A and B are shown apart, each in its own frame.
Chain A
């Protein structure tokens, strides 16, 4: 293992994050506050409680998930796409590093950033609503796993993308709708029966449900199923990345 290289890639990526630390900090705070104003206060005043939890608190896990998933994906995809785009990838390709090390560096940095934003949102949430976390370790584990798996997904997208449109397409076209339709702002049981079934094909449902369980001890689907889903998803991303490494797809001609 070339640990120096992993360190170099990781801190190089983090340096970009630190250069824009205020932005990275302020934008999730503002957007989360807006969600609380719109969903928590405006809508929440009409929907008292969901599954015995005040609506404002109920949406916290979904909110965190929404940001963390999009942040992890966009950070990781941009991180690897950028050197491809400006040509500095040549150095990575000519260095004594394995793709595994490159992945750890980029995905690790993207996941760290997403995790940071997750905590910022959680902190902001405490300012708006009463919140207690039933299973803090499970909460942390879910959060970290989500950051990692969606960073892996973003990494794949960044390698796949051949222009900026493609780079933005997946987060915009797939992740945001899946998260919105994944029960971030409502309980699955509030949907008509047909939609309850359709929703079960949305992988994000399992993540949000599991994450919500970690907060409130109740969930739409069983926690085992949630864990299985995120493990499956992470495994799938790893398999795709492994294949990319083997073939040099879109990286090495």
Chain B
């Protein structure tokens, strides 16, 4: 069993809306999982339920072997949560709000650890500032500091880089990878596919309350990746010759090339046949290139299928 184990979790809100429809998920210690999904997919609901903010309607969740309902103290001791919305007490000093979090999780005072943490998050020189005087990116880092204040083994980051500039996003990725080095298990949600691609070990796609897939990032990209063959021509075309159109080729923008899409893992890719057809049609090749489809394409296709 993983450090976080979710079995047949469903969640219906009071209004009757079912936000999670039987989600099962095993998260191994030390890995980074990115959850992707469109708005309203149920990502926040899933995280909130595991963390104890909303009650599950049915199903079981354990963290470190502790059931989140019957042994909630054991489970919650292990978990840190950075919520999607920035919610902080505006008049509180940074250091005090972080100390408060640590106390709330039952940990005794440890100013040395908190100093290290705030330095790591570049917040040390802001420790005596009131929260309301910080920028949005700093506030988000305060939330991270609060979540890490009690040294959790599992960290949930709900859209940590939403509305964050490129530089801070890279910083955030750095922080995540440092935490991983320290052995923290990380579950994050994001709308940025390149983010999942960049930092996750495994990727889950969730839509309409169901996990559509959860897989090793590399395996996923290899398994599901489509490849595009681009044939550059010496003379531009205005339309695809009939014999080639039949093979599914399309015109690249500008007419200087043709594009053929194929499954990279298929036994026959059909490339040889296409090239023969191109030759037969009397077209002059200038260049050839193939391109692997990105995670983004995979994601869009998956979500479209369930729409």
Instruction: List A contacts of B105 (CB < 8 A).
Output: 4-5, 95-96
Kindly list chain A residues whose C-beta atoms are within 8 Å of the C-beta of B245: none
| Residues A94 and B51 in contact, CB atoms below 8 Å apart | yes
> What A residues does B256 contact at CB under 8 A?
none
Surface stretch bound by A, among B77-85, B179-187, B218-226: B77-85
Contact A8 B53 (CB under 8 A): no
In the complex, whether B91 has a CB less than 8 A from a CB of chain A is yes
Whether B76 lies near A252 (C-beta < 8 A) is no
A96 touching B103, Cβ below 8 Å: no
A95 and B54 in contact (CB under 8 A), knowing A5-B103, A9-B104, A253-B13? no
* Chain A interface, number of residues (Cβ within 8 angstroms): 25
User: Which residues of B have CB within 8 Å of A19?
Assistant: 91
Q: Is B2 an interface residue (CB 8 A)?
A: no
The listed residue (A90, A96, A252, A253) touching B106 by CB distance below 8 A is: A96
Report whether B106 and A4 are in contact in the complex, using a CB–CB cutoff of 8 Å.
yes
Contacts of A87 in B (CB 8 A): 83, 85, 87
Does B282 count as interface, using CB distance less than 8 angstroms?
no
The answer to whether B104 touches A91 (Cβ under 8 A) is yes
B178 within 8 A of A: no
* C-alpha spacing A5/B102, complex, angstroms: 8
Residue A134 at the chain B interface, CB threshold 8 Å: no
Chain A proximity mask over B83-105: 1 for CB below 8 Å, otherwise 0: 10101111100001001111111
Nearest CB of chain B from residue A12's CB, rounded to whole Å: 5
A92 touches B104 (CB 8 A): yes
Contact (Cβ within 8 A) A94 B54: no
A163 within 8 A of B: no
Q: Mark B199-219, 1 if CB is under 8 A from A, else 0.
A: 000000000000000000000
B163 interfacial contact with A, CB 8 Å:
no
Q: Which of B13, B51, B83, B87 has the most CB of A within 10 A?
A: B87
Closest-CB distance, A92 to chain B (whole angstroms): 7
* A197 is an interface residue with CB less than 8 A from chain B: no
**Chain A: which residue is nearest B88 at the CB level?**
A88
- The answer to whether A5 touches B89, judged by C-beta atoms less than 8 angstroms apart, is no
Contact: A94 with B79, CB < 8 Å? yes
Interface size on B, as a range, is: 20 to 34
Contact with A along B51-77 (1 / 0, CB 8 A): 111110000000000000000111111
A94 CB contacts on chain B under 8 angstroms:
51-53, 76, 79, 81
Does chain A have a CB within 8 A of B116?
Answer: no
Q: Does the CB pair B53–A2 fall under 8 Å? A: no
Please, how many angstroms separate the alpha-carbon atoms of A7 and B104 in the complex? 8
B119 sits at the interface (CB 8 A): no
List of B residues within 8 angstroms of A88 by Cβ: 87-89
The answer to whether B87 touches A90 (Cβ under 8 A) is yes
Closest beta carbon of chain B to A113's beta carbon, Å: 17
Which residues of A have CB within 8 Å of B104? Answer: 4-5, 8-9, 91-92, 95, 97
Q: Per-residue 0/1 for A112-128: is the Cβ within 8 Å of any B Cβ (1 yes, 0 no)?
A: 00000000000000000
CB distance from A99 to the nearest CB of B (A): 11
Given the complex, which residues of A lie within 8 Å of B79, measured CB to CB? 94
Provide the bound-state CA to CA distance between A218 and B252, in Å.
99
- Complex-state Cα separation, A94 to B158, whole angstroms: 14
Which residue of chain B has the shortest Cβ distance to A95 in the bound complex?
A: B104
> Please, how many angstroms separate the alpha-carbon atoms of A86 and B107 in the complex?
25
Q: How far is the CB of B18 from chain A (nearest CB, A)?
A: 13
Closest B-chain residue to A2, C-beta based?
A: B106
B 25-54 to A, binary, CB cutoff 8 A, 1 in contact else 0: 000000000000000000000000001111
Asked if B100 and A8 sit within 8 Å, CB to CB, the answer is yes
Per the bound structure, the CA–CA distance linking A171 and B14 in Å amounts to: 29
Contact indicator per residue, chain A 52-86, by CB within 8 Å of chain B (1) or not (0): 00000000000000000000000000000001001
Contacts of B75 in A (CB 8 A): 96
Contact B100 A96 (CB under 8 A): no
B146 CB-CB contact with A under 8 Å:
yes
Bound CA span A248–B55, Å: 9
- Chain B residues near A83 (CB, 8 Å)? 89
Measured between C-beta atoms, what is the minimum distance from B228 to chain A in Å?
Answer: 44
Write the chain A residue with the least CB distance to B101. A91
A96 touches B76 (CB 8 A): yes
Q: Say yes or no: A96 contacts B53, CB within 8 Å.
A: no
In the bound complex, do residue B96 and residue A96 qualify as a contact, i.e. CB atoms below 8 Å apart?
no
Distance between B57 CB and nearest chain A CB, rounded to angstroms: 10
11 residue pairs bridging A and B, Cβ less than 8 Å apart: A4-B105, A4-B107, A4-B108, A12-B96, A15-B96, A86-B88, A86-B89, A87-B83, A88-B89, A90-B81, A253-B13
Q: Beyond A90-B87, A91-B146, A94-B53, list 20 extra A-B contacts (CB 8 Å).
A: A2-B73, A4-B106, A5-B106, A7-B103, A8-B100, A12-B100, A15-B96, A86-B89, A87-B83, A90-B83, A92-B104, A93-B52, A94-B76, A95-B104, A95-B105, A252-B52, A252-B53, A253-B14, A253-B53, A253-B55
Q: Top 6 nearest A-B pairs by Cβ distance? A: A8-B103, A87-B87, A96-B76, A96-B73, A94-B51, A95-B104
